[in-house]
Homo-oligomer: A and B are copies of this chain.
Amino acid sequence: MYRTHTCGELRLADKGKRVTLSGWVQRTRKMGGMTFIDLRDRYGITQLVFNQKVNADLCERANHVGREFVIRITGEVAERSSKNTHIETGDIEIMVDELLVLNRAKTPPFTIEENTDGGDDIRMKYRYLDLRRTNVRANLELRHKMTFETRRYLNGMNFLEVETPVLIGSTPEGARDFVVPSRMNPGQFYALPQSPQLFKQLLMVSGFDRYFQIVKCFRDEDLRADRQPEFTQIDCEMSFVEQEDVLNTFEGLAKHLFKTIKGIEINKPFPRMMYADAMKYYGSDKPDLRFEMKFVELKEAVSGRNFMVFDNAEYVGGICAQGCASYTRRELDGLTDFVKRPQVGAKGLVYIKFNDDGTVKSSVDKFYSEDDLREIGKCCNAKVGDLVLILAGEREKTQKALCGLRLEMGTRLGLRDKNVFAPLWVLDFPLFEWDEETQRYYAKHHPFTSPKLDDIQLLDSNIGAVRANAYDMVINGVELGGGSIRIHDSELQNKIFELLGFTPEKAQQQFGFLMDAFQYGAPPHGGLAFGLDRFVALFAGLDSIRDCIAFPKNTSGRDVMIDAPNFIDNAQLEELNIRLDLKEKIE
């Protein structure tokens, strides 16, 4: 038997008990004739004591036990003379009389402690050691709890978890598929699903009524910091529902998670915002509402003063940073540099300081009188001590840049506390999105998204203005999930395909089985999918999703620990009826 208790379990009430523990040696130290070992497992740390006077031989062996050795000990629970209030087992220690080394350990490349990770490359190569660190493991414990509670909530709401296939067909629309050559069907390929979208809609046609699945999805995209080639969705679909039903159900799920995981009771309904307003006031379809700092349109207020930057701009917008009038020249230059970064994309920054002494100072004093500036300040609701920041240019680009500036100011002002949560529904997304490059409309969400009933007549006249029954749940500026009411009417679906430039043949080829299925009695239905990785990262207070994934890949899509992907045998390729066709020789 390896243990009677875990290393996180013993308390003063256990005093006098004879116990056996197993775990990893966190650290050893000698003091007087005593050797102390902190023994660690997933559940906690327990202090072991070896007394040279009582058993010199045993104590000597304890002195030779190294960091991260795996040991089993037996001894008696005793009360500590100097208690450790930082750990739950801090009232007791074990007077050890038996010690067995279960496994020795080489010195790890970094110490297994909260703040010593040896850097990203080493962490990932030795991920199995990185995962020993309590804070890293805590993220995965959180992930487990969140999926468990998600299932508990959805099961309680009559949802059925149904596994959909991983080996499916490739759909050239959208992001790139990972494909899998089929040995038994020479020349043909499976694809890994980017989402179970089609299958969950088929399940609705099958009368499953309420479906969910916590499921791996795959996208062969060039990876940014916060993207992984495989990611996990909480994928859901419901029949006989309107948008309101879907919002209520999944707002309920979010509230359940806040309550059971974070201990936060949210009684009020989540605020709702139209997509158009989100863009107008925050320059983003996922505004961070932990702080206000709304955009103010200033075009009218600033025009006609011969400041050509503003006069020629399609859009002039400002935000008011409270209490920032005291910003120095250097700080303001820093902000200008910030907005000029390619990721933000502005050409310059105009500021107006409403100083504590009542004076007004701006970077455009040459063009605007103090009264002009005060008028602009009034538009922005600026008070004494505030700083107004203004960007100008092409509408969409400028709003995006102003969004970046707003978030930066929020961060600088400490308004983006990770322990504060500001949930939001963004509604009424446009159905279509114009793409300049290919000069055509694309489905903003996906081609099965239903237009708003009121906007159907616009399909023939002003397609860009058609709004969708589509919605996103946004918390703290993170899009946690999104979905839509689907089209269940074949005729309307055909019309949408046509508008998206699908020939009937191409639509049939790609979505034929869904279109066919819809002819046998499709119920009205809609759904939503949460990005689990993002949801966990939000709850864990992480900036990246990587640390809530046990074995993540790097930005080249590599798992550096197992060194995958890698080359395979020619025999394997031959069986699969494929050959390498490299542009450059591999060394």
Contact = CB atoms under 8 A, between A and B. Distances in A.
Contacts of A143: 162-163
Interface in A555-587: 556-559, 561-569, 572-584, 586
Contacts of A442: none
Interface in A1-15: 1-3, 6
Contacts of A206: 128-129, 131-132, 137
A72 B128 CA distance: 56
A198 B561 CA distance: 12
- Of the listed residues A70, A190, A522, the one surrounded by the most CB atoms of chain B closer than 10 A to its CB is A190
Given A179-B181, A207-B24, A202 B170 contact: no
A155 B163 contact: no
Given A137-B206, A207-B137, A184 B557 contact: yes
Interface string A158-193: 001111111111101000111111111111111110
A314 to B, nearest CB: 37
Contact of A147 (B161, B165, B230): B161
A566 B190 CA distance: 7
Contacts of A291: none
A162 B572 CA distance: 31
A255 interface: no
A230 B70 contact: no
A69 interface: yes
A576 B520 contact: no
Interface string A206-246: 11110000001010101100000110100000001110000
A70 B163 contact: no
A575 B172 CA distance: 13
Contacts of A68: 520-521
A102 interface: yes
A267 B184 CA distance: 47
Contacts of A242: 1-2
A140 interface: yes
Nearest to A144: B160
A208 B161 contact: no
27 contacts: A2-B241, A24-B523, A41-B209, A42-B207, A70-B523, A126-B520, A127-B202, A128-B517, A137-B207, A140-B208, A143-B162, A144-B160, A147-B161, A163-B550, A165-B551, A167-B565, A168-B564, A170-B566, A170-B572, A176-B183, A176-B575, A179-B576, A186-B586, A187-B567, A187-B586, A199-B550, A203-B550
Given A70-B522, A169-B562, A188-B565, 6 more contacts: A148-B155, A166-B230, A169-B559, A187-B567, A199-B551, A578-B581
Interface of A: 1-3, 6, 22-24, 40-43, 68-70, 72, 102-106, 108, 126-129, 131-132, 137, 140-141, 143-144, 147-148, 151, 155, 160-170, 172, 176-192, 198-199, 202-203, 205-209, 216, 218, 220, 222-223, 229-230, 232, 240-242, 488-489, 513, 517-524, 549-551, 553, 556-559, 561-569, 572-584, 586
